[in-house]
Structure 1
């Protein structure tokens, strides 16, 4: 998977953000010193073709692009994400837990091999997560099945900033035990939260930690402020703003 071959901050961290076009993608990628995975949210595009065209535009500026569900993690967007990925040959996509394995098989059959995450919802209880069906399940059982189905990464959303940090760390530790390579928190994350989250996640030794930061970085819908990306790198390096 091309995404896992990217250089990572301290060999572990990448940041997932939205980009409005080629120029914006290049600006945020450069501001983030290459530790950035720009992308789009499928829900923001009325047709598959529009989304594919935007993804192809972004790929002119950066080596890896991502497709998110959008709409606050709208589970109903899963099929449109897959359709866009087939056409644009994206390197990273988001899926609900229940559809991630199907998406992986379908895309591989079409010679597209992105890193695919499986979205679960934190419950406020360490060791329990909720699925898109509404079912609450044990983290261990959830990850056992994910590993058996060769799921690459677990997305945890909404983490509400640092509210569910202990749950996130527990999921990451259990993922590592099962050979799952990534953990991806999203929802309400501000740039000042990232160094705290990263310090906690580093102890788990998971291969990839990729927070999705949208609202706090956006200058307008779908467009990330490259200056705030630069600020985020400053904070990660121990600096102050």
Structure 2
């Protein structure tokens, strides 16, 4: 299975969800390979079944697979790590406290492992208590620079900033983007991103100087009847990305 992420060549790589294996292939083709295709661990009742199915997905899309939690559910953290160890995907979504486990079980540093941090209402301050137990405790709030340093210590590749609520936390997002640029760390904006606000969000990260941006666009481009991501919308996102990145 291909380990070296084929999106390393891109400054921006989309991250969208697949509703089926056929949908995954359609998405990958619509994005001309500039995409990570998310499959949620929460959709499976066991690690074994998830591993078997996700290997099939990976084979269809040159392993451009993103193993997901499922709405950032901290209770999926251990399952995601176990799946990632077996499948060796190109991308892993993790809560903050699950990053080190995923990296250790992967046994290599090529797979991208993000760590989930959340807005607090104060620019420059982020919530890192996103794990199974810590999410039930009083909020753990630290400066974004400290959060990034901790993620680096744990073998993380990027900040997953969730939930953004689209443009609702835009001042906070600007501070996160600036810190990621200053510390040469990757950034994954997530939550409420759609075809209307995508360019504005991506522009902020680009202008801040972030070296790699992986925007997650989920429910806004999913057909509610089929549960599949609309390939036409993925094409539109790719067009907008090319316009902004030249």
Please indicate the TM-score interval, normalised by the length of the shorter structure. 0.7 to 0.9
Q: Tell me the alpha carbon deviations over residues 6-37 of structure 1, each in whole angstroms, 9 at most, x when there is no partner.
A: 442xxx11111111333211211111122111
1:45-84 equivalence runs, <5 A: 45-63=44-62, 64-70=64-70, 72-84=71-83
Which residue number in structure 2 is paired with residue 137 of structure 1?
Answer: 142
Which residue number in structure 1 is paired with residue 167 of structure 2?
Answer: 162
What SS does the corresponding residue of 1:159 show, helix, strand or coil? coil
Instruction: Tell me the C-alpha RMSD between the 2 structures.
Output: 2.1
What SS does the corresponding residue of 1:223 show, helix, strand or coil? coil
Which residue number in structure 2 is paired with residue 99 of structure 1?
Answer: 98
How many equivalent residue pairs?
232
**Unaligned ranges ≥5, structure 2:** none
What SS does the corresponding residue of 1:34 show, helix, strand or coil? coil
What SS does the corresponding residue of 2:165 show, helix, strand or coil? coil
Higher strand share: 1
Q: Tell me the alpha carbon deviations over residues 97-141 of structure 1, each in whole angstroms, 9 at most, x when there is no partner.
A: 122123212221xx5842100100111210111122221222122
CA–CA separation in structure 2 for the residues paired with 1:119 and 1:35: 22
> What's the TM-score, normalizing by structure 1?
0.88
CA–CA separation in structure 1 for the residues paired with 2:209 and 2:4: 20
Which residue number in structure 2 is paired with residue 126 of structure 1?
Answer: 123
8 Å Cα contact 1:7/1:34 also seen in 2: no
Following TM superposition, by how much is the alpha carbon of 1:160 offset from its aligned partner in structure 2, in angstroms?
A: 0.3
Following TM superposition, by how much is the alpha carbon of 1:77 offset from its aligned partner in structure 2, in angstroms?
A: 0.5
Say whether 1:152 aligns with 2:157: yes
1:1-241 equivalence runs, <5 A: 2-3=4-5, 5-8=7-10, 12-63=11-62, 64-70=64-70, 72-108=71-107, 113-131=110-128, 132=130, 133=134, 134-180=139-185, 182-220=186-224, 223-237=228-242
Residues 4/230 of structure 1: CA separation in 2 closer, same or farther (3 Å cut): closer
CA–CA separation in structure 2 for the residues paired with 1:185 and 1:195: 12
**Unaligned ranges ≥5, structure 1:** none
What SS does the corresponding residue of 1:20 show, helix, strand or coil? coil
CA–CA separation in structure 2 for the residues paired with 1:146 and 1:112: 13
8 Å Cα contact 1:39/1:58 also seen in 2: no
CA–CA separation in structure 1 for the residues paired with 2:242 and 2:151: 33
Higher mean alpha-carbon deviation, 19-28 vs 74-83, is at 19-28
> What's the TM-score, normalizing by structure 2?
0.86
CA–CA separation in structure 2 for the residues paired with 1:15 and 1:231: 11
CA–CA separation in structure 2 for the residues paired with 1:103 and 1:93: 8
8 Å Cα contact 1:22/1:59 also seen in 2: no
Following TM superposition, by how much is the alpha carbon of 1:194 offset from its aligned partner in structure 2, in angstroms?
A: 1.3
